[in-house]
Amino acid sequence: MQMLNRYFVPFALILILSAIHFSSPDRNVVQTAFAILALAMVVNWWFSKNTYRYIHLAKQMKILQVWLNYVWAVPLVYLLLPFWGPMWLLFVMAPITAALFTNRRHTLGMALVSAATMLGIYHKQGAFEAGWTEGMAGMTYVHAAFIVIIALFVYGLEQTALRLRDARLS
């Protein structure tokens, strides 16, 4: 978990600060985005610090953290996507977390949920006004496919690393 906090929290912060700096959304959007980010940082830090303290609940805590990463991404992307296009990348965090701590089925499920939610946000914000196969629709489908593919790729890397570790131990 510390590795995720070390890389993904700063990445999320960079995305949010870029959206705010380069786009100047209204004050309420900025305050809400920072409140969500602060809450996410505190909760992720708490989980990282206490996962092994409650070792009997470690698996459930990791699954909860995967879903919480998804929950944080939904309002942040919804609020800031109109101001900063790369905000959709926040939907990659939960599936990658799932890839590192759960099985292939859960990783795929989280990736599909994240991709579908992202498509729903794009739809709500008008990306499909020209039609489901016109305009920005193609870009949104590529974004959704990337979420699924990168999650499965990371899962594959993680499984390879575990097999190599196990081979060295035997």
Helix axes 2-23, 58-80, angle to 10 degrees: 10
- pLDDT value of residue 2: 63
Q: Are 150 and 115 in contact (CB under 8 A)?
A: no
- pLDDT value of residue 113: 98
**Cβ-based neighbour number of residue 14 at 10 Å:** 11
d(CA 146, CA 71): 19
- pLDDT value of residue 51: 72
d(CA 72, CA 9): 11
Q: pLDDT per position in the chain (170 positions), as tens? A: 567 767 877 888 898 889 888 888 889 999 999 899 889 888 888 877 877 777 777 788 888 888 998 999 999 999 999 989 899 999 999 999 899 889 999 999 999 999 999 999 999 988 888 777 777 788 899 999 999 999 999 999 999 988 888 888 77
Q: Are 73 and 95 in contact (CB under 8 A)?
A: no
**Cβ-based neighbour number of residue 56 at 10 Å:** 7
Q: Is 134 left (phi over 0), alpha (psi -120 to 50) or beta?
A: beta
Measure CA of the first residue to CA of the last residue in the chain; give whole Å. Answer: 27
- pLDDT value of residue 156: 95
Q: List the domain boundaries for the chain.
A: 2-169
Neighbouring residues of 54: CB distance < 8 A, sequence distance ≥ 6: 61
Distances (CA, A) of 105 to 22, 99, 110: 38, 10, 9
